[in-house]
Structure 1
């Protein structure tokens, strides 16, 4: 027992005697419970199901009904774990038997529908934040699996010469082994345990893998099967890949047909560019589907005047999609690998959101093929990591401008200032492409800039053939002059008016004269200037 300390006094503890504070430490009454340890012995000793932690967290949350979700490979242990929970807590345990492919399949929606107030998800990393489950308490159990690391080490030493540059990756079950092995190998090899945030160092998913340094000699994957390994192979086509199966202890070099995959996906994209009616599939298997990505796709198709239909599906089969003969192309917001691996089995193109962005000319085809679906740093709002943070409201703003032109027009041109100039430039791009909503002949853009959002790149891909006057302030501290000049370069023969001031619309005599000269080009009976240039 700690010695009492009087109020106002101090009882300093020598530095060496200070006890380490462990946040959320499991109480000894659970860790030292002999009956609980005995019950847990019914589970494989090399599989860490974190039973004491689970019991403690359920008790701490005072949960009444606990849902257990795990991949099929672990379901054989579900009843044993459920019995332990019901014996050592006051909660009822419910086993969720629907298929669980990965970390994206966390099914808090169904758990809540079952009346559960606590969900334990086994075998995957924390891809869905625990604070986004709308009040349902969450616990992720990685199920770390201990293996014969010494054999794995000796296998690497036998097959690779000292000094080789190696990247070690795995699934979440073996990440701790990868970390330990990497430390052992660093004295002989150049070892990298890459990270693709928000994943753990060394962890890869079937749809998310890091790009490796070009001087990497080989990537070594610890795990059974090829699904996850193929992800990092697709992302790094020029680096030899090897797999060590921890169960069979077989070490093999693996290969992937990159050319065939690229050809198949590009063929699907080309077909999609001719499509009239688009089908948007939102995956409903747990959290597989991203409403933000779906919304982004809807906004793009609406802006382009492409008809589309939404379909909600837990699993996507060719026979199911054949029931929609009027749909010319499908975009599935579920699992990118469904399109990559099995897209050719479908009678109509089945695109990923990234491939849809290519088909809609929002982005160029990428080399290598991006495997960044859940990456924090990804290409754009067609990925789960970027969609939530993507710029919003553009289509609504464009619709507002179109409605004003229709209701209060006709207007000859547009005047935009700062953010308004950025929006006006996008209107000019749409007008130059023949969009009938914006019947304007010119624009005056003051302190404008081009949007940096990847989703807006298509506005500037082709030179915008609409007459414009760009007003640039040399001392503008809000929109720097180079940004406004960069926007001007997106147009065909722009007129650029510079002034020594900052972030305002200049109205001195020299500027007024320049405005009049530009506007006179559009008066009745006046022809456009033969050449535009610096004013």
Structure 2
């Protein structure tokens, strides 16, 4: 006897119940399991002490967690609320941009006085709200790190090395202002006298920068118990204060991407090798590009392996140079705001607009949150995009995007024909603004010597040779056009369109109009007044699963 098979048909429309009942898996990586481990990893005790010491100043505190730490957010929140009764504490939702950046927009919705940022950070200076960083404490063995360092640099007497590290290893490598285990062992016990350790101010409240056109100095962070209101104010202070109060001044040095280090007198950065401790990440990629004059060796504590970054660095530089050449051929440029909280981002955007106008090109501005291929593909009129984001999120290396995405520094080099790229690379906003004013041209002059105003134009209309296409390309110059309702055809760069009946119409010369003219499909013709009105007829009755006039099966 043949068995009968029962078939069930799936519903034609999804009710959405599967999405409601779906179980969301927690992150596979657990940073802590016991109460003491939570307190140590998230530095809850230090955070409570900071909030109590600044209780009058910080009434509303926002906690920003990355996705990997969201499962621990409730425990941290409950402990802070329990011991800080005077402060109103809340957890921020997902950031619209990278989790490494400070989400000042979300914090301002609740009028927060302080943001406590947990997890990995790009260390970009905040623009409006003070920030307290809690990086977490990634596990690593000090003996293994020192052994790997000795393996790479066996000669301790003649090895000038700059030691840098991921922010998660700050607790064992370099604690500001007191040296930690790794740096102490390398300098005092193993005799590496030429070792320079980059410092990250971990016990500081990072105040919003008020200098719009200069990089933040080394001392522009204030500890929680500092009495000074600015980094240079003379005020009573504690011994561990990082400001210049009470006559205390930090050693002069370089501060790049939140890390500070002071080289000896007459020493050059290119003479140093960089030993970076941390996994392969966006921070390491940014370090390799911005310090491309140095040999970089990456030690990953999770794998106990050392990798040299120089070969990959050269390949990345070639990719970036190719993107730069594509941007040089672009006539229409899209300015994408990849951050709304990093200091000086508005100054960088204003400078980009000025440079694009002076080059006679057209620009459009976009604020779209986290970028992806689908979002960027909606604007095919754009020839190239410039992403104004933090150093770690500004380097977009993906072949899936239909248009090149460059950094502000790359765009500056592509717009100014008098500049030559020497391989130097800058992604920090503060350093960018200073560099824009001092970039030397091929003849040795600087922008300050012959500064153009926003309304002035250059007469360089000669074509340039494109290294992308191998042909000469004529620059398309867009001029500001004044609207005149009496005669729309008198504007510079105006276009003429012809419809199916060869009727001529004139539109303003614009990038969107030119792109529309080049498209094979420009939309349906309206033919107003030419289409005969249809007779009113009775339509169908019923619902989609069965209308009244349909035959039953």
Structure 2 match to 1:220: 275
More helix by share: 1
Deviation at 1:353, TM superposition (A): 0.7
Counterpart in 1 of 2:541? none
Are 1:162 and 2:218 counterparts? no
Measure, in 2, the Cα distance between the counterparts of 1:247 and 1:233.
20
TM-score, reference length from structure 1: 0.56
C-alpha separation in 2, matches of 1:231 and 1:137:
25
| 1:140 and 2:137 aligned | no
Residue 80 of structure 2 corresponds to: 85
Q: Which residue of 2 aligns with 1:109?
A: 105
**TM superposition shift of 1:277:** 1.7
The residue that corresponds to 1:275 in the other structure is: 330
Distance 1:209 1:229, change over 3 A: farther
- For residues 106-158 of structure 1, what are the alpha-carbon distances to aligned partners after superposition, in whole Å with 9 as ceiling and x for unaligned? 112211213434322234476325xx42xx55433344557432331233224
Q: Give a deviation string over 1:335-371, Cα, whole Å, max 9, x none.
A: 4555644253321121111111111116634333413
Report the alpha carbon displacement of residue 260 of structure 1 after superposing the two structures with TM: 3.2
Once the two structures are superposed, the pairs formed by residues 409-488 of structure 1 within 5 Å of their partners are: 430=457, 433=460
Distance 1:433 1:244, change over 3 A: closer
Instruction: Verify the 8 A CA contact 1:269 1:355 in the aligned structure 2.
Output: yes
Sort the Cα spacing of 1:226 and 1:357 in 2 relative to 1 into closer, same or farther, 3 A: same
In 2 relative to 1, CA 284–169 (structure 1 residues): closer, same or farther, beyond 3 Å? closer
Cα pair 2:138 2:168 within 8 Å, conserved: yes
The match for 1:127 is 124
Report the equivalent of 1:327. Answer: 382
Partners of 2:433 and 2:357 lie apart in 1 by: 24
CA shift in 2, pair 1:323/1:377, >3 Å: closer
* Residue of structure 2 aligned with 1:308, choices 350, 357, 363: 363
Distance between the aligned counterparts of 1:303 and 1:208, measured in 2? 36
* 1:505-524 aligned within 5 A: none
Q: Distance in 2 between the 1:168 and 1:137 partners?
A: 28
Against the structure 1 CA distance between its residues 278 and 240, is the aligned structure 2 distance closer, same or farther, given a 3 Å change threshold?
closer
2:52 corresponds, among 53, 56, 62, to 56
User: Does the CA contact (< 8 Å) of 1:207 and 1:374 recur in 2?
Assistant: no
- Say which structure, 1 or 2, has more relative contact order (CA 8 Å, 6+ apart): 2
- Equivalent in 165, 171, 177 of residue 166 of structure 2: 171
State whether structure 2 residue 195 is matched by structure 1 residue 191: yes
Deviation per CA, 1:206-232: give whole Å up to 9, x if none.
99999963333x321112233222223
Q: Distance in 2 between matches of 1:103 and 1:199?
A: 24
Compared CA separation, residues 343 and 378, structure 1 to 2 (3 A): farther
- 2:154 counterpart SS class: coil
Name 1:182's counterpart in structure 2.
183
2:142 aligned residue: 149
Q: CA deviation at 1:237?
A: 3.6
- Write the distance in 1 (CA, Å) between the matches of 2:346 and 2:389: 10
Map Cα deviations across residues 23-44 of structure 1 (whole Å, 9 max, x no partner): xxxxxxxxxxxxxxxx962605
Aligned partner of residue 150 in structure 1, secondary structure: helix
Query: Would the aligned equivalents of 1:122 and 1:142 in 2 still touch at CA under 8 Å?
Result: yes
State the shift of 1:239 in Å.
Answer: 3.9
Instruction: Please say if residues 46 and 147 of structure 1, whose CA atoms lie closer than 8 Å, have aligned partners that are also in contact.
Output: no
Instruction: State the TM-score, normalized to the length of structure 2.
Output: 0.54
CA–CA distance in 2 between the matches of 1:209 and 1:232? 14
- Using the TM superposition, give the Cα deviation of residue 69 of structure 1 relative to its aligned residue in structure 2, in angstroms: 0.8
Structure 2 residue matching 1:266: 3-state secondary structure: helix
Q: Secondary structure at the match of 2:413?
A: helix
State yes or no: 1:43 paired with 2:44.
no
Deviates more, 1:115-124 or 1:272-281: 115-124
Contact 1:106 1:287 (8 Å CA) reproduced = yes
**Cα distance change of structure 1 residues 97 and 244 upon mapping to structure 2, 3 Å threshold:** farther
Contact 1:283 1:289 in 2 (8 A): no
Question: Structure 1 residue 161: deviation in Å?
Answer: 1.1
CA separation of 1:315 and 1:148: change in aligned 2, threshold 3 A: same
Aligned residue among 93, 96, 108 for 2:92: 96
Instruction: Flag structure 2 segments of 5+ consecutive residues without an equivalent.
Output: 1-33, 175-179, 200-214, 220-252, 439-446, 463-553
1:356 is the counterpart of 2:411: yes
Task: Please say which of residues 246-255 and 72-81 is displaced more in the overlay.
Answer: 246-255
Cα drift, residue 333 of structure 1? 0.9
Whether 1:75 aligns to 2:70 is yes
